[in-house]
Each structure stands twice: as structure tokens, then as C-alpha cells.
Amino acid sequence: MASSAAGGVVIVGSGLIGRSWAMLFASGGFKVKLYDIEQEQITNALENIRKELKMLEQSDSLKGSLSAEQQLSLISGCSNIAEAVEGAMHIQECVPENLDLKKKIFAQLDRIVDDRVILSSSTSCLMPSKLFAGLVHVKQCIVAHPVNPPYYVPLVELVPHPETAPATMDRTHALMKKIGQSPVRVLKEIDGFVLNRLQYAIISEAWRLVEEGVVTPCDLDLVMSDGLGMRYAFIGPLETMHLNAEGFLSYCDRYSEGMNRVLKTFGPVPEFSRATVEKVHQAMRMKVPDDPGHLAARRQWRDDCLMRLAKLKSQLQPQ
């Protein structure tokens, strides 16, 4: 548990993402203070974390080398923000996705932190230049965007403000690696970052294919889950190109003309109109009814699959 001696981690906001971050940092041996405005929310969050860690331990899926009890002993709640951030080396903000609310939190933190702590946001879509505008400690600010659910999906997008210090990026990258996540450096801010830009490109073409009657919604999902998704679980699109010919140059020589031709047939950005919304909605409801019980059960199944896939990936990592 030596890590905690170097300064602890503060999580601001005890919702789903905040709880996941708390568990991840505790798995790496860090002392974690979970801050929220109401004591009841903190109490509920700590109870939720306790259940989750015990369940993970029982299914042999607990991250890190410490037991569930040891990890739990590292996490404490705090409803006083000044007290919570004292001596912290990293603060991870996890409040709801609202620019004004997040800016208010960072302005508050800016007034009470020292020149060493890293101020990090979990935002999935707010630009660092808007989020951290006018802060005294802007050099210490960064976005560390996790992927839902963060405990099972290790990617973290690190997105700097134009004035973020290189050391802030380096320290956050090293910290994410230490807790077992897979950080990527987004070299400059862009709307949607990287993951959502790729995700929206897929959603956009998926929508057009369904809207134009090329494929049913369920078969469209099958193309991803039993096709592209299987190899993308291990290698990305660029390495796929490299391996699907005699190297990357060979792939481009062989297929660039065809790719160009097909890409030119892509339509405009969809309007996500009502008729197709209804069509996809009905297909999804047939597969998974949209009442809270069925959705929760399906999410649990998804998380179990991700947990098992994460285990498999760790066993199969090339040396």
C-alpha cells in the first residue's frame, strides 16, 4: 500500500462513474476520498462499492493485488471539499455532464488546491478549452474520459487544454497505467474526442443502412458483434489493414480504389428521424424489453461478458 503515501486521490461526485473510479484507484493501492454534497449519497455509494467489490472477489474478478477488505479500507467519504482535497495528488471530477456545474466545481477547486495536484475531468464531450477557461491552475488541468463501464473497459482518453503542461499529461498517463487502465494521448482537443468520433461514424452508417432498407436492425448489430467487433476487441482498424494484406502499403495499393468508391456512396449525416427511430426501437424492444428490470439484467450480462473478455485479453497479450 506504499502508493497512498505519495498523496491520495479525490473523487468529486459519487455516481456510477465516480464509484468506478474509486474502485479502480483503490485497486492500485491509492487512498481515495469520495466527495459529495450530501452525506446520504456518500453512505449509499460506499455501500454500493462494498457490495460490488465483494461480488468481484467472489467471482475472482477483483483487480489489483489487495483483498476486497483492504481496498475498502482505502476508500472513505467526505462531505467537506476543502478537507477532501487536502494533500491530494489527483482529483477526478465525476459530476453530471453539465458545463455550468462542472465549471463551478473547477472554479471552487481552483481556489483551494496547490500547484502540484492534477485536476482531471471525466467529461465525455465537453471541450477542455471551455471547461478549464480562466482557471489559475489551468496547466494542471486535463480531461481523463473513461469508457462505460470503466471497471471492465480500460480505455481512458487523455485530452489536454491548450495550456495543459506536458508534465500533467505524463503524470496522468503514468497514473492510469498504474491502476491498470489503457490511457491514450489525444494530442489536441477536438469535439467528441476520439472514441465518440469513431462511435458516431459507425452509428451514422448503421442508421443509413437500416433507414435505406439494406439490413434489419438486429442483423446490423450482428455484423458488428459477430463480425467487425470480434477482431476490434483485439486489434484496431489500422492494424487490421496491416494484417489483411502483405502489410499496410500492400493493403492501400490493393484496396484504396474500392474504399474510395464505396465511401463516396455514403449519404449525408442522418437526421435520426422518427420513422427509423420507431423501427429500431421496436426491434430492440423485441430483443430486450425496455423496462428497468430487463435493461438492468441485460447490462449485467454485458458487464459479465466484458469482465470475461478482459480476463481473456490479459491472458492473450503479446509479450
Tens digit of pLDDT per residue, the chain (319 long)? 334 335 799 999 999 999 999 999 999 999 999 999 999 999 999 999 999 999 999 999 999 999 999 999 999 999 999 999 999 999 999 999 999 999 999 999 999 999 999 999 999 999 999 999 999 999 999 999 999 999 999 999 999 999 999 999 999 999 999 999 999 999 999 999 999 999 999 999 999 999 999 999 999 999 999 999 999 999 999 999 999 999 999 999 999 999 999 999 999 999 998 899 999 999 999 999 999 999 999 999 999 999 999 989 988 877 5
What pTM value is reported for the model? 0.94
Q: Among 285, 288, 286, 280, which residue's Cα sits nearest to residue 207? A: 280
Could you give the CA distance from residue 293 to residue 291 in angstroms, rounded to a whole number?
6
Cβ 94 vs Cβ 9: under 8 Å? no
> CB neighbours (10 Å) of residue 169?
19
| Residue carrying the nine cell digits 491552475 | 137
Could you give the CA distance from residue 106 to residue 131 in angstroms, rounded to a whole number?
8
Peptide bond into 292 cis (omega under 30): no
3-state SS assignment for residue 140: helix
